[in-house]
Every structure is written in structure tokens, then in C-alpha cells.
Amino acid sequence: MPYAVPKLTDYSPAALEKAANECISACQAEAAEVRSDSDLKSLRDRWMARKNGILTQINDLWLKGAPKEAKRDAGMRVNELKVRITELVDAAHVTSGGDAAAESVDISLPGIRRPIGAEHPIIKTMNEIVGVFQKLGYSVAEGPVVETDYYNFEALNFPPNHPARDTQDTLFIANQQSKPQRERLLLRTHTSPVQIHTMETMRPPIRIVIPGKVHRNDPPDASHSPMFHQIEGLAVDTNITFGDLKGTLDHAMKSLFGSNVKTHFRPSFFPFTEPSAELYVSCFICGGSGKRGADNAPCRPCKQTGWIEVLGCGMVDPNVFEFVKDNGYDPKKVSGFAFGMGVDRLALLKYGVDDIQLFFQGDVRFLEQWA
Ligand code: PHE
């Protein structure tokens, strides 16, 4: 039954109060049922219309019919009621329904889970490697991914037009021809430019690791990606020797791959280190035998050689120190070693993933295996 304004016979304060409360409840109930703009208009008309709206009826029935001695009290109460009803009607709005029970919170229901995600396997591997060096007292540095020719090449002792630049398959930023060569922008091909940035701002001695993204013009396949990750290391002090390099990297490899792996250095070439080497670890998949399982299947990760190449390294070339000499790096006084490793390749080996593209496709079914 829709609410109808009752005639009052009893004008006692209790009776007035009861009548007012019934009226307010009725208005609240109707306001909760508003489902459309036209419902909202009907509600307003029904309660507020000057001509025969409920408030007008209350005025007529309750005030005008009140005995003299009750007029004052009835007048105050009717005014209060008008304020309250006006508030309720003004606050009414279109809702999608649901009764009070459905709108209240059922604390026994499970909450809404917001997945927080997990560390990406590459980041996980990076953090692990960085952690090994942090324990040795190294700090972490970072640098820009869009780099100048000067930092990516020139200050690393790649002279302009030197053929060693060809080994880096560089992705150049377009429209740089009007600038002098050393200012031209490119996507850094390695994290080594951060060696220079760091030495420009920090005086020796330094021990630093530099994780980051690098780019090369390699078509994507199972083992190549035009974007990948490296971790660079640099230690400069007085009297740093190749022995320090070997000891540090041997310790790092044992921490990362297990205390029974062996390390092995082969001569190599990088313009910014002299002498240079490639570091191999004994294959942690086949244990160095080149064969796997009872049927002696060929070990693929080490191509049956028993050794896996993990990084490039060497003693910082004195020519590199010349570029930062003014900040305390006199090649006659300091020496250092540097290394750079490919994180993605190590993550592939470590987790037995056979396609690097999987790391970058963002398929949650793949990534949640590390959650
Ligand atoms: N920057 C070299 C590369 O990307 C790796 C390297 C770093 C070698 C530091 C020696 C010293 O191949």
C-alpha cells in the first residue's frame, strides 16, 4: 500500500512523533526504489508538488486541523518534517536496486583478489647476479638506453670508422647526420658506456655493477632478440691485477651455478680491455661431460663441449682511462678490470627455456611459472 497521509486525532507529542516517523520511513522506502529518471520525477512530484503533494497534504491535514493549544507544537514538527523530506527527495538518485540485505557486506564471502604479479625471470636472474656482487661490496649504477656515439664507442676506445664497431650491429636513431659524430644518438649496444659515466662522476676506487637493457640489430629467433639485458662490472683501484679478475669471477660463477663448476678463460678481443678474455664455466647441465642421461644423449646447451661461454672481460685499457683522467683515473696510477654478461642467455640456461622470445611475449601462462 502506498503511503497516504493519515488524519490526526491525537495531537500529543508522542502521536505527532509517531506520525512523523512513519512519514519519513515511507519516503525513505520510496526513494530507495527509484530506478529511472522518470521514477525520480514521480517521487519529487508525489512528495513536493505544491498542489496536493504529500507535504502540502500534511500542512492541510495536520496543521489546519490541529486544536488551538496544539498548533504551536504541531507547526514546529511539521516544519522539521518538511526539511527532512526535502533532504530525502533531494538526495534520492537512480539505483540499480537490491534490498538492504544484498547491499550490506557479507564478511564471510571471499574478498576480491588483486594479483600482485611476480618477478619476471629475467629480473629475477638479474637481481640474483647483482646480489652476488653486492655481497662483495659492489654498488649498483645505471645509465641511459639511448646513448651518444661518444659513450657507446669513442670513449671505449672504438675510434671512428674502426671495424670493431661492426661487431655491434648498432641501431641508430634517425636524423642525426647534422650533429658531430660523437653526439649522434643510438640505442646502446652494451652496458659498457656506463663505465664511462660512472668514472666521470665517481673518483677511484670504485666497484660497480650495471644492469640494463641493450639493443642490437639482430632479427628475433629462438636465441636472439633485438632487445636484451646485460650486467656490466667494473673495479678500479691501485694495483688491481688479472688475478683479481679471475678470483672475483670464479667466485661469482660458483655462487651462481654451484660450488662445483669450473671456470676457464680464453683470450679474446674488446677495444676497451687489454688483455681481454671470454669466461667459460663447465656445463652445469651435463656436468662438463658433454653427454646427458643414461643413453649418453648429446648435451645441447654446451654443444657437447662441456663448456658454456658466459661473459666477456679484461683489464681496463689505459686508453679508456685517458678519457676520464681528469677525475683521478691516471693510467699510470690506477688499474682495473671490467666484465659484461648476457642475462637473457643465462636465464635461458638456468631455467631450461628453449626460446628467448617467450621472455618478451608477456604470456601469463608462461610467466606465472615463476610466481
Ligand atoms: N661490452 C662487451 C659486449 O657487449 C662485454 C664486455 C664488457 C667485455 C666489459 C669486456 C669488458 O660484448
In testing the pocket of ligand 1, which one of 151, 152, 192, 272 has its CB within 8 Å of the most ligand atoms?
192
Q: Is the CB of 314 under 6 A from ligand 1?
A: yes
Q: What is the pTM of this model?
A: 0.70
Q: What is the arrangement of strands in the sheet containing 263-270, beginning at the earlier edge strand?
A: 139-140, 206-215, 227-237, 335-342, 307-316, 273-282, 263-270
Q: 178 CA to middle of ligand 1, Å? A: 30
Q: What is the pLDDT of residue 271?
A: 96
Point out the ligand 1 atom lying closest to the alpha carbon of residue 192.
Answer: 1
The one-letter amino acid code at 215 reads H
Q: 26 CA to middle of ligand 1, Å? A: 80
Point out the ligand 1 atom lying closest to the alpha carbon of residue 234.
Answer: 9
Q: 216 CA to middle of ligand 1, Å? A: 14
Point out the ligand 1 atom lying closest to the alpha carbon of residue 341.
Answer: 5
Point out the ligand 1 atom lying closest to the alpha carbon of residue 312.
Answer: 8
Q: Is the CB of 313 under 6 A from ligand 1?
A: yes
Residue nearest to atom 6 of ligand 1 (CA): 340
CB atoms < 10 A from the CB of 91, how many?
9
Q: Is the CB of 339 under 6 A from ligand 1?
A: yes
Cα–Cα distance, 14 to 1 (Å, whole number): 24
Question: Quick one: how far is CA 284 from the chain centroid?
Answer: 31
Point out the ligand 1 atom lying closest to the alpha carbon of residue 337.
Answer: 11
Q: Is the CB of 270 under 6 A from ligand 1?
A: yes
Q: What is the pLDDT of residue 57?
A: 86
In testing the pocket of ligand 1, which one of 199, 232, 270, 310 has its CB within 8 Å of the most ligand atoms?
270
Q: 351 CA to middle of ligand 1, Å? A: 24
> Each residue's pLDDT tens digit in the chain (371 positions)?
789 988 888 888 888 888 888 889 888 888 888 888 888 888 888 888 888 889 888 888 888 878 888 888 888 888 888 888 888 888 888 887 655 555 678 888 888 888 788 899 999 999 999 999 999 999 999 999 999 999 999 999 999 889 888 888 999 999 999 999 999 999 999 999 999 999 999 999 999 999 999 999 999 999 999 999 999 999 999 999 999 999 999 999 999 999 999 999 999 999 999 999 999 999 988 889 999 888 899 998 899 999 999 999 999 999 999 999 999 999 999 999 999 999 999 999 989 999 999 999 999 999 999 88
In testing the pocket of ligand 1, which one of 187, 190, 229 has its CB within 8 Å of the most ligand atoms?
190
Q: Is the CB of 195 under 6 A from ligand 1?
A: no
Q: Is the CB of 340 under 6 A from ligand 1?
A: yes
